Amino acid sequence: MIDFGELTALAAREGRERIGVGVVVRDASGRILLIRRAPHDALPGLWEYPGGGRDDGEGVEEGAARELAEETGLAGLPLEYLRHLDFTNQSGRRVRQFVFTSTVPDGTPVALSADHDDHQWADANSLPPTGDGQREVIEWLTRRLAIPGWRPVGGYLTTIARPTAYGSFLITDPQGRILGMRSTINPTVWNFPGGNVEHGRTPFATALIEGMEELGLDLAAENPEVTAQRRLVAVIHEQAGTEYPVPVCGYVFDGGVLTPEQQARIRLDPAEHTEWRFETAHDWRALMDPDRYQRLRQVLRAHRSGLTLYLERPAPPDDDFEGVLVLVTDPAGRLLMNLREDRPGPWPGYWTPIGGWREGRETAEETAAREVAEEAGITVSDLRPLPGPHHDLGLPLTQVLHAVWTGPESDLQLGDEGLAVRMVPLDEVPLLKVPPYMQHYLPLLAASADRIAGGTA
């Protein structure tokens, strides 16, 4: 739907003093309906397409339909917005006319008003005396109609997906935890501060306004250095779904860090949210449904990388991951394991394979190679997806890859994660404190290692 309220406001900002309407009516043969002004009217004898001024309080499209019916008797026609025409009227006022078009059968009868004394169906190439502006509109329309498949913008817009848009902020605390707010309408949903873009607003302005309404904080004043940059973290396009049956385009901006003093001044709007909290990305997983959690992980990847990422939901198949699990074995059939630190986070105090979250625009193989280098100090190549079947088993959004490393164990160097790294015989892995997903992947890993050793991979 075209927002003529916003278009008329734009006209006022551009110095237009009046709003006019016009309708170019075509018959099936492509001729244009022109009506002639009566002798007693201004500019007598001038031929024109139907149109006039918009009445007070009248919508633009309603005004166009009314003028058409009053001047020609043609009522109830479907109108498609065409374009605008700017001109100065007889009183010296600057007018913006919104022009529509419609088509009728050949021979459609016309009933003129008292302000016009004749009509004709004119060929666009041989128009009778008319104003330069109207002639330009008619000739422009004729040229466009000659282009195969072209149609007026008002009709074209009905054929394309028109997503709604939202603007929101990613806000963290000094520990890097992420702010979420529990929805009043659906208590299982946790939102970022933000909301849908209304007419006349930009996504960033929407995020600021919604932040004020939802948190009671003016983020432009609270975090001026961050918000002044208007840093766009991510653009997310979400396809229509059963819950929200139109596409959505979301703009996520960096809202900065809220100090404990600022957090103490948060005042929620109870009509929208019942509570707020800061949680780690790991802990948000238990509070969000899988789709929202994946969107959070995507946004956090963009935020960490410093890159503005274009993201899609659902993600394309070759891009539908946010982390990797890397199973690195050696020719002796041992598996590279990392003893995790006993602190909050995934699998504290457990022995796990190498793994981590995706960065920037990395592929799964690039993520896996980087994580192995960072956690174990070695370089692996020829990374391959581990043949399935695969299950969640505590590994959402994760691709599982396998590589064979032929270097000596003495080359292993513990990185900045974990307490130790070592190669563990596969039959000894279950004797360690390991995550339950290892029970699923050890047989698959043994079969994959056998295939590689046999040269059939």
Q: Which two tokens stand for residue 229?
A: 């940059």
Question: What contacts 118, CB < 8 A, 6 or more positions away?
Answer: 35, 36, 112
pLDDT of residue 450: 63
Q: Which pLDDT tens digit goes with each residue over 109-123?
A: 999 999 999 999 999
Does residue 314 register a pLDDT over 90?
Answer: no
Q: In the Cβ-directed half-sphere of 30, how many Cα atoms lie within 13 Å?
A: 11
Q: Which two tokens stand for residue 103?
A: 């088509």
Question: What contacts 329, CB < 8 A, 6 or more positions away?
Answer: 335, 336, 402, 403, 404, 405, 426, 445, 449
Please name every residue paired with 166 in a beta bridge, in sequence order, or none if there are none. Answer: 196, 250
Does residue 449 register a pLDDT over 70?
Answer: no
Question: What contacts 299, CB < 8 A, 6 or more positions away?
Answer: 170, 233, 234, 236, 252, 311
Does residue 457 register a pLDDT over 50?
Answer: no
CB 79 within 8 A of CB 154: yes
- CA gap 250, 313 in Å, rounded: 11
Q: Which two tokens stand for residue 204?
A: 């960033």
Alpha helices for 14-59 (secondary structure H): none
Q: Which pLDDT tens digit goes with each residue over 58-83?
A: 999 999 999 999 999 999 999 999 99
pLDDT confidence tier of residue 161, bands split at 50, 70 and 90: confident
Does residue 39 register a pLDDT over 70?
Answer: yes
- CA gap 202, 200 in Å, rounded: 7
User: Crossing angle of helices 4-13/60-72, nearest 10°?
Assistant: 100
Q: How many residues are listed for the chain in this entry?
A: 457
Other CB atoms within a 10 A radius of the CB of residue 453 amount to 13
CB 355 within 8 A of CB 397: no
How far are the Cα atoms of 329, 336, 454 from residue 404, in angstroms, in the given order? 5, 10, 13
